[in-house]
Chain A
Amino acid sequence: MRRHVLTAASLVAAALGLAAVASDEHGKPVEHEWKTAPVAPLLQTREQAAAKSAGCMDCHRETDEPSMHASPAVVLGCTDCHGGDAAVRWTGPAVEETGDYADARDRAHVLPRFPDDWHWPASANPVRSYTLLNREAPEFIRFVNPSDYRVVREACGACHLKTILAAERSLMSTNAMFWGGAAYNNGLLPFKNYLLGEAYTRDGEAAILEGAPATAEDRAAHGILEKLYPLPLWQNLEPADIFRVFEDGGRNLSNLFAETGLPNVAGQVQRLEEPGRPDIRQSNRGEGTGARIAVPVLNIHKTRLNDPLAWYLGTNDQPGDYRSSGCSACHVVYANDRDPKHSGPYARFGHGGTTATRDPTIPRDRPGHPLAHAFSRAIPTSQCMVCHMHQPNMFMNTYLGYTMWDYEADAPSLWPKEQKYPSAAEARAVYDRNPEGAAARGLWGDIEFLKRVSGLNPSLKDTQFADYHGHGWNFRAIFKRDRKGNLLDAEGGVVANDDPDKFRKAVHLSSSHADAGMHCVDCHFAQDAHGNGHLYGEVAQAVEIDCKDCHGTVGAYPTLRTSGPAAGPTGSDLAVLRNPDGRLRFEWLDGRLIQRSILDPKREWEVSLVKDSVTPANARYNERAARAKLMSRDVKTLAWGTEVAPGDLAHADDSMECYACHTSWTTACGGCHLPIEANWKTGSHRYEGGTFRNWSSYNPQVAREEVFMLGRRGPTEGGKVAPVRSSSALVLSSTNSNRERIYVQQPPIAASGYSSQAMNPHYPHTERKTETKRCNDCHLSAAGDNNAILAQTLGLGTQFINLLGFHAWVGTAGGIAAVQVTEWEEPQAVIGSYLHRHAYPDWYRQHEARGQLLQHASMNGSGPARCLQHRGEYVYVAEGERGLVVYDAASIGNKGVSQKLIAAPFSPLGHDARVRMKDATCVALATTQPVHPARNQGDLMRVANLEQPFAAIYNYAVVTDAAEGLILVDINTLADGEFRNNFLERALTWNPGGLLAGARHVALGGNYAYVIADAGLVVVDLTDPLAPKAAAPVPLRDGRASALQFRYLFVTDAGGLRVVDVTHPMQPRLLPEAAVPLARAAGLFVSRTYAYVADGARGLAIVDIERPAQPGLIAHFDGGGAIQDARDVAVASTNASLFAYVADGAGGLKVVQLTAPDTQPNFYGFSPEPRPVLIARYPTPHPALALSRPLERDRAVDETGGQVAVFGRRGARPFNAAEMRRLYLDRDGLPWVVPDEW
């Protein structure tokens, strides 16, 4: 199959070459003489139509809606849509097992090219048919689904051509938001005006899509794209991520290609091995050849994430996955979910994909059949959830109050008692349905168990599960909780964790719209579903409905005209919409706006009107709503009310999305792991299909609900303030055909140079009336207890959902130790943890039997690593008199490489990443997320992509030297994919008047470096990194280390823990009352409302810093005396649990589980109180001194407004410094607070 349509962009030119791919996973083709039936007519007489149904009805007898349409105005015969021969007649029973019957059937029906794959003559949608539709004869596709986009013009075009053209271009068909986002966020394509989208010709070939005509101004104003190109083949695209194996140069394993024209036939040149030079490169050919290819594109082709979308049938293999393709993907309802809130009136039909048709020929018990032969506009949310259940696919579980399960909640009920050891075949059978690596080991990998998961709810302790399981996944319910994680009822009262009725008493945080009985289609009407004919790359741009269209504003009642980004100049007229039962959808009755359910003719509700809620005399007046909506910008008086001029409103609807406040929770995909393996031969889900080696499982790691952040939307949505979510913060691994891990848990870098730990503004769809954001979610509380909350809201990160993955990076007195702390298998449970106990009971028992000793570590033998930072494939180490040394750790998981931590991969002549210093004491990077500022340059980034420039600090590693002061080293060459230029040099040495003598620790907060030196805390302004400025030192008693959280810097010194107010960093203010005396406070780590301080022999001091000005010691934890010399600590999450990693001096590494479902039932809280349990240890050969900070997965922006993480959506960004300050500082720079009772 050729890709003849790909001509325009050099990008897609790369895809041209690939020849036909064997489709060996498909059955043998059987060719027929297919006759294309005439196009279904616009109009005809009933007699004419009847003639086209005559023979069909001999067997089918009766059906639900013969024309599929409820309207009697539509006159169609069977063959008008399906083709086939209605002249073939049958006088016997409807179903008969005879040759005559089969003969008549085969003459009447259109026959498939791939009868085995369709299970001909069975009529059910085959499971996971994917590209079968691209191979099959269009006449047969029309026969099984006349509304499939490949053939839809023939059946539906006479009446609905405009809608067809729009629907093919809608994001639900093109998938452009996912492909574009994935391409940009992973550095594949540098265009935020996306280029890629899915579409096919009638013959199933890849198609370029052109959008409806639009002016250049409209394109710019609305984000309208001109064209979408097919996804290139991953096999010959250059790699997106410049991991070390993808860098040019080096020698490689024996060539993958048949060589021609070489002087020696044995290909000896390629086999040349050079002594001492690790053989780890992917190819000796150019980019886009051999294994030097685009791995993210492989995932899009093969790993079941978003797919299939509307061009394909659903996978029809598990509850939540039953649907058709094309128009029928939505308009024909299948049985997917038994919960009436999700399925409305269809709930009673079960979730097994079986039919309730009147047609006697359709088996009642065979899944994959629609409920009825009828189109419906009464589309239940459960039908939408077939696709909208994955993070980059407009994650809509939130609407129903669910998010992805994390493998930990109620683990005892979902993991087998006996550890499973799935064979490759068993695992493959599960992964074909469900790409979660963990599923092969869990009980839910068994589809019969999966179907019954929601039946477990009455016996569950930690959560409740939804009744739909698209992709084979489990979805856990979100409940109202306080910040400590206590379950709350509607009045805010705490519901006891041991209350057997707790999940009925606690508020399930589904959208209040869902609670009112609304389904997706009750807000998103025809245009939102079909699109408007333009091509878009961003979901929000393609939405025409806006909150105010139905709810109005503080000053006006709703117009019932759509006004969202995709609305036309006058908007769509909601007042004339009619429901399937014929009633008006919206109607004003006596000043009340009534909306009637599309699904349930008996259900209607009154729409809340914003104006009423803020009008004091109105019966529906709500003071809290009025205060929030009518608050003035005057932060000194906090005056509010109807007298505030519209231009003075603090929360005006033209500058803020309604759901910035009306959001009860936001989903946070705080990370997922895509481990590619060369030895999984699997089928591609798109285009030509075919099977290839290489496949990746999909492993959500930290799916949380309490990560609320704000940022700004791009200009096409008015640049409004909106919630920001962490969206698919990927880490990638790759195992080659020799089972060598050629990279391990690497975060890619986005095309803009920002970290790929992606964020984006979004609409959480969790709006509620009571459980909204409160004043103190975004502004300083009078009680002074929301510093961590604000750090989260502003996107600064809270050091809670950090990734500390396969290895803990420990600095020891004798070099670095990379200690393996998790399993490699999925789930990557921390060894010895709660999850480990349930997912791997055998291995857990063995671990316990070994005295909790971890087994594997890689070490180098260099100087003392007193301070280190792991980032990407490098480890930055301050090694005293050896200076700053940057080690290449790319091969840390590679069994084929003996020395895994090396200073010079190519000899010191070709690579020198060591900067000599007198006494390097500490190194810090502005972010632990890999970034590459050099990519973020030029008009493409500034103008076309509307990216902000990087702050200059991101070019450097910041080093303290006890003798030399502050040293900056430009580290950009390590991220540029060029192996020949890695010669690091110092860019700045700065120590004016010996101010930084004895410098021993540095922490960075945006452009400010917080240096601990002999003089105490010295804040250094590095806005211009090569021209630093220092503030007057804050004296300390032998300061040791510091950690920053928003307005406060936590410092350890001889006296213990101290707190410095750094609201204005250059005017640091030690809070004399805020002190926690500790004997040997050393390294510390601040994670949300707790500070963890390494306190020597006493172990780990856990300090409550919810009110930073009044820190309070909660406890010391020494693991029953096991921790004897705590020097440093790092905190990170794995799945639903929080862990501390302790550098315990001579005791080596200690792993402490801080929360677990069995020790802390409040583990889903924003900051549950830690319940430390020692679970693992590794005795490093030299004393463990330090820990690398983990990957900060929720840090979108730094404290001075410098962007860190890539933001999806053109022009979207985190708050800049001025915007952040407006939330908590008045014009005089003084903090202002909101009353706690607000």
Chain B
Amino acid sequence: MSGETIRPAGVTARLLLAATASLCAHPALAADAPASHLGVASCASGVCHGVAKPVENASVLRNEYVTWSHFDPHAGAYRTLRGEESARMAARLGIADATREPLCLDCHAENVTAALRGPRFQLDDGVGCEACHGASERWIASHDDTPRVTHADNVAAGLVALERAEVRAGVCAGCHVGSAGRMAGHALMAAGHPRLTFELDTYSELWRTSGGREHYRRDDDYATRKAESGSVAVWLAGLVEAADRTLAIAGDERHSHGVFPDFALFNCYSCHRSMKLRRFRDAPGLAPGSVRVQDSALVMLAAVLDALEPARGAALRDATTRLHRAANEGMPALREAAAALRREMPALRVWAAGRRTADAERDAVLAAILGAAERGEFPDYSAAEQAAMAVTLLLTASGRTPDSDPRIGALFDDLRDDERYDPARFARILSRIR
């Protein structure tokens, strides 16, 4: 992956290389749909989406399959399971064969039930077209029949409306965050699975242009057919979705080990840091040494709310603190706290979806994040990652940073190695952006 010319893909790529080199995805909604997955080959025909080069004057580029095949990391998701590292991980976990293990396949392939696999469906295609676009059985024959068939008709037939931020958030977060019953738990991490990083807008753009090839083009024609959410809305939707899914997992018994939730639910950097580092941070309401659950999305959301709706921001902070405390008390408390927080999520989702991305708002949010950074509210690597991606997308959305802004580059350079993360240094670099 080397998309140096594309931003934010370029800068983000460096980050990803550092932390999540073999990160993969999951077909969130697919398994729930009753229609069949007809397989990548059903889309790949040379007269459909398998044209060698992008086609001008067509509603879509028509080379999506070729782009996916060569440049989209999702295409290699299953292949990853065949690799030596996967075999080693499987051995550590007592899994006979990663390529047949539902735990792995759920995110590294379109692991729908056999009954829902069409005649040309191939599991080893990894995360294929229908993992994101939805099972095609009911719309494949008609989806190009414009104007008789509209996008809305296709969506009604099962095409996933990925242009809508909250829909896309749900699809991507299914694997990139995880969901109840399907997550990269602490055991998997311990066996060698990379840590998950996720920010919906950054990842969307990174993926859309992976390898320097566009999966789709946001041209006039696209805008006419699909009202795509703006990047801030996508970002917020991603944050809400990530928070919601984290909470859902936290509240799910299947992911508990005795009195503790799965350790992967905790912020990695609560524990995973060198003992030489003296980076004590007084967390209000939390005893020293308390481990905190994975809260990067919640922290980021709170920062945004601080700028736009301070009262809700404060409430979210309080609830987050309660969650942390509950996590240290045991599973029942955690479940209860998580459920309480989750109850806020529908409203937040609506709020996020309705955000206008006016300049003033964006600037306020940016200022809030930078302020939070200066206050030391991104004490660990995972929060800093989120901050870096958020700042980048906000600057990009407002058109204020050129593609090759060295300050952005410096930010991601600083995040190259999570073991060398220093909050003070990061805050200094971030402050130059203001």
In the complex, A1031 has a CB within 8 A of chain B: no
Given contacts A44-B145, A582-B40, A582-B119, whether A575 and B140 have CB atoms under 8 Å apart is no
Q: Interface 1/0s, chain A 18-46, versus B by CB < 8 A?
A: 00000000000000000000000001111
- Residue among B44, B125, B140 making CB contact with A72, cutoff 8 Å: B140
Closest to A73 in B: B140
Q: Does A104 contact B (CB under 8 A)?
A: no
Minimum CB distance partner of A580 in chain B: B120
Complex-state Cα separation, A590 to B148, whole angstroms: 47
Give the chain B neighbours of A590 by CB distance below 8 A: 82
Indicate which residue in B46, B122, B137, B142 contacts A582 across the interface (CB closer than 8 Å): B122
Bound CA span A71–B41, Å: 9
- The answer, yes or no, to whether A271 is at the interface (CB within 8 Å) is no
Decide: A581 near B120, CB < 8 A? Known: A45-B142, A72-B141, A576-B69: yes
Contact B42–A73 (Cβ < 8 Å): yes
Chain B residues within an 8 Å CB radius of A75: 141-142
Bound together, the chains give a CA A473 to CA B142 distance in angstroms of 49
Identify which of residues 153-181 in chain A touch chain B, using a CB-to-CB cut-off of 8 Å.
159-160
A167 to chain B, nearest CB (A): 14
Q: A578-B40, A582-B119, A582-B120 are in contact. Are A573 and B140 (CB under 8 A)?
A: no
Do the beta carbons of B52 and A572 come within 8 Å of each other?
Answer: yes
Cα(A44)–Cα(B50), bound, Å: 21
CA distance A159 to B47 in the complex (A): 7
Say yes or no: is B48 at the interface (Cβ < 8 Å to chain A). Answer: yes
Least CB distance, A581 to chain B, in whole angstroms: 6
Across the interface, do A589 and B82 meet the contact criterion of CB distance under 8 Å?
A: yes
Other-chain contact of A583, B45, B82, B122 (Cβ < 8 Å): B122
Categorize the interface residue count of chain A.
Answer: 20 to 34
Interface centre among B52, B140, B141 (most CB of A within 10 A): B141
- Asked whether B218 is an interface residue with its Cβ less than 8 Å from the other chain, the reply is no
| Residues of A677-715 contacting chain B, CB below 8 A | none
Give the docked Cα–Cα distance between A572 and B53 (Å). 11
> Which residue of chain A has its CB nearest to the CB of B44?
A578
Report how far A848 CA is from B220 CA in the complex, Å.
92
- Tell me if A45 and B148 are in contact (CB < 8 A): yes
| A526 contacts chain B at the CB level, 8 A cutoff | yes
Which residues of A have CB within 8 Å of B38? Answer: 72
Q: Is A523 an interface residue (CB 8 A)?
A: no
Indicate whether A582 sits within 8 Å of B42 (C-beta atoms), given known contacts A575-B69, A576-B65: yes
B144 located at the interface, meaning its Cβ lies under 8 Å from any Cβ of chain A in the complex: yes
Query: Chain B: how many interface residues by the 8 Å CB criterion?
Result: 30
Are B141 and A74 in contact, CB atoms less than 8 angstroms apart?
A: yes
By the criterion CB–CB under 8 Å, are B42 and A72 in contact? yes
The digit string for A552-586, where 1 denotes a CB below 8 A from any CB of B, is 00000000000000000000110110111111100
Across chains A and B, the number of contacting residue pairs, with CB separation under 8 Å, is 69
B263 to chain A: which residues have CB within 8 Å?
none
Closest to A161 in B: B47
Contact of A575 among B40, B70, B82, B137 (CB under 8 A): B70
From residue A52, how far is it (CB to closest CB) to chain B in Å? 15
Residues of B within 8 A of A572 (CB): 52
List A residues 62-83 near B (Cβ within 8 Å): 70-75
* Closest beta carbon of chain B to A40's beta carbon, Å: 14
Residues of A close to B120: CB separation below 8 A: 70, 578, 580-582
Does B39 touch A at the CB level, under 8 Å? yes
Q: Check A582/B39 contact, CB under 8 A, given A72-B140, A573-B52, A590-B82.
A: yes
**Cβ A582 vs Cβ B41 within 8 A:** yes
For residue B58, give the distance in angstroms from its CB to the closest CB of chain A: 12
Q: Which residues of A contact B121 (CB under 8 A)?
A: 582
Would you give the 0/1 interface string for B371-410, flagging 1 where the beta carbon is closer than 8 Å to chain A?
0000000000000000000000000000000000000000
User: A71–B45 contact, CB under 8 A?
Assistant: yes
Chain B residues whose CB sits within 8 angstroms of the CB of A576 once the complex forms = 44, 50, 65-66, 69-70
Chain B positions within 8 Å of A582 at CB level: 39-42, 119-122, 125
| Distance, CA A578 to CA B44, complexed state (A) | 8
Please measure, in the bound complex, the distance between the C-alpha atom of A582 and the C-alpha atom of B120, giving whole angstroms. Answer: 4
Distance, CA A719 to CA B48, complexed state (A): 38
Known: A73-B48, A576-B44, A582-B122. A45 touches B145 (CB 8 A): yes
User: A1169 to nearest B CB, angstroms?
Assistant: 57
* Chain B residues with CB below 8 A from A44, complex form: 145
Tell whether, in the assembled complex, residue A43 and residue B65 are in contact, meaning their CB atoms are under 8 Å apart: no
- Docked complex Cα distance between A648 and B40 (Å): 46
Q: B residues within 8 A CB of A43?
A: 142, 144-145, 148
- Residue with the greatest number of chain B CB neighbours at <10 A, chosen from A575, A581, A589: A581
In Å, the complex CA distance between A583 and B52 comes to 18
Contact B141–A46 (Cβ < 8 Å): yes
Q: Which residues B129-171 have CB closer than 8 A to chain A?
A: 137, 140-142, 144-145, 148
B residues near A581, Cβ cutoff 8 Å: 41, 119-120, 122
B186 CB to nearest chain A CB (Å): 30
Q: B141: which A residues are within 8 A, CB to CB?
A: 46, 72-75
Alpha-carbon gap, A957 to B52, bound state (A): 61
Residues of A contacting B137 in the complex (Cβ-Cβ under 8 angstroms): 72
Distance, CA A866 to CA B50, complexed state (A)? 74
List residues of chain A with CB within 8 A of the CB of B65.
576
Bound CA span A762–B329, Å: 81
**A1222 CB, min distance to chain B CBs, angstroms:** 41
| Cα(A75)–Cα(B82), bound, Å | 38
Q: Mark B56-88, 1 if CB is under 8 A from A, else 0.
A: 000000000110011000000000001000000
**Please, which residues of chain B bring their CB within 8 A of the CB of A573?**
52, 66, 70
Contact B46 A526 (CB under 8 A): yes
Central interface residue in A526, A576, A589, by most chain B CB within 10 Å:
A576
| Distance between A1177 CB and nearest chain B CB, rounded to angstroms | 68
A43–B45 Cα gap in the complex (Å)? Answer: 16
The interface centre, meaning the residue of A44, A46, A160, A582 with most chain B CB atoms within 10 A of its CB, is: A582
Partner of B42, one of A71, A159, A526, A584: A71
Kindly report which residue of chain A lies nearest to residue B83, judged by CB atoms.
A590
Within 8 Å CB of A72, what residues of B? 38, 42, 137, 140-141
Of chain A, the residue at the smallest CB distance from B120 is A582
Nearest-CB distance from A43 to chain B (Å)? 4
**With the chains together, A1211 CA to B142 CA distance in Å?**
52
Q: Within the complex, what minimum Cβ distance (angstroms) separates B124 from chain A?
A: 8
Q: Which residue of A lies closest to B144 (CB)?
A: A43
B41 to chain A: which residues have CB within 8 Å?
578-579, 581-583
B140's nearest neighbour on chain A, judged by CB, is A73
- Complex contacts, A70 vs chain B, CB 8 Å: 119-120
Give the residues in chain B near A45, CB-CB below 8 Å. 142, 145, 148
Chain B residue with minimal CB distance to A160? B47
Hey, what's the 0/1 contact readout for A1013-1037 against B, CB within 8 Å counting as 1?
0000000000000000000000000
Determine the chain B residues whose CB is within 8 A of the CB of A575 once the complex forms. 69-70
Q: How far is the CB of B139 from chain A (nearest CB, A)?
A: 10
| B11 CB → nearest A CB, Å | 29
Contact with A along B3-46 (1 / 0, CB 8 A): 00000000000000000000000000000000000111110111
Binary interface profile of B, 268-288, with partner A (CB < 8 Å = 1, else 0)?
A: 000000000000000000000
A1125 to B329, CA, bound (A): 121
Nearest CB to that of B84 among chain A residues? Answer: A590
Residues of A within 8 A of B145 (CB): 43-45
Given the complex of chains A and B, what is the CA–CA distance between A572 and B52 in angstroms?
A: 8
Can you list 18 A-B pairs with a CB-CB distance of less than 8 A? Answer: A43-B144, A43-B145, A46-B141, A72-B38, A72-B137, A72-B141, A573-B70, A575-B70, A576-B65, A576-B70, A578-B120, A581-B41, A581-B120, A581-B122, A582-B39, A582-B42, A582-B125, A584-B125
Name A residues whose Cβ lies closer than 8 Å to a Cβ of B: 43-46, 70-75, 159-160, 526, 572-573, 575-576, 578-584, 589-590
Other A-B contacts than A73-B140, A74-B141, A578-B41, 18 sampled, CB-CB below 8 A, are: A44-B145, A70-B119, A70-B120, A71-B45, A72-B38, A73-B45, A75-B142, A573-B66, A573-B70, A575-B69, A576-B65, A576-B70, A578-B50, A581-B119, A581-B122, A582-B39, A583-B41, A590-B82
Nearest 3 pairs between A and B by C-beta? Answer: A582-B120, A582-B41, A43-B145
